[in-house]
Amino acid sequence: RREGTEWKVVPQGQAPRNELSCSTTGDREFAYIHEHNWNEQMWNIAGRVDFQSLMEEGCYLLKGVASDVIHRLSFGAKVFARRGTVLIEEGSENSAIFVVGHGALKVTVKGEKISTIGPGQVVGLYTMLKGTNASATVTVSSELAYVLELRHSHFQSCLEDEPSVKQRMQVILEQREAQNKAAEMVHNKTIREV
């Protein structure tokens, strides 16, 4: 138990709705639904999602990466999260990248929605590339999301010899910085109007 952390009792296999606001990746993981707690619907979704194929065929970031590298990446934790679960919290430490297999994630900066992340897309790169706390909050917006969670260290070690991935990560980083700047401008304008 972390000093100053308040724990809530939640029925097994359920995540608290819109109540999860934790300061570290480790704390947030308590809201994830792991394989031993999956229900029938989750097993059906998991059976239809092949993260290796999804990353090989539908992920801009990993385009052209060798199959053996993608195979190593697919060994991350495969978890479910319910609507309202915060995967990444703005201003907090984040040590994971998430590949969406099912469902949708909402990305907000200072409360302003900047994008929706869906199957085959990756979120969490910004903190890894910048070496800073998270610049945005990422929340599950669909009823249920099935994600592959990859630790930054695992992701980097698998892709250290892939210059094309590093170039695409830079492009994504620049896009995210532009989105963050736009959200900040909207947020500041809203505050001035109030």
Nearest to 144 by CA among 80, 50, 101, 51: 80
* Residue 57 pLDDT: 84
| CA 191 to mean position of chain CA atoms | 28
Scored b (16 or more CB within 10 A) or e, 123-156 reads bbbbbbbeeeebbbbbbbbbebbbbbbbebebbe
Measured between alpha carbons, how far is 107 from 88 in angstroms, rounded to an integer?
A: 9
- The stretch 150-178 carries a mean pLDDT of 78
- Report pTM: 0.74
Highest mean pLDDT among 28-37, 61-70, 82-91, 184-193: 82-91
Of 9-18, 24-33, 35-44, 68-77, minimum mean pLDDT range: 9-18
CB 106 within 8 A of CB 145: no
Per-residue pLDDT of 101-159, as tens digits, reads 999 999 998 888 989 999 988 898 877 777 889 989 999 999 999 999 999 888 888 87
- β-partners of residue 106 are 116, 139
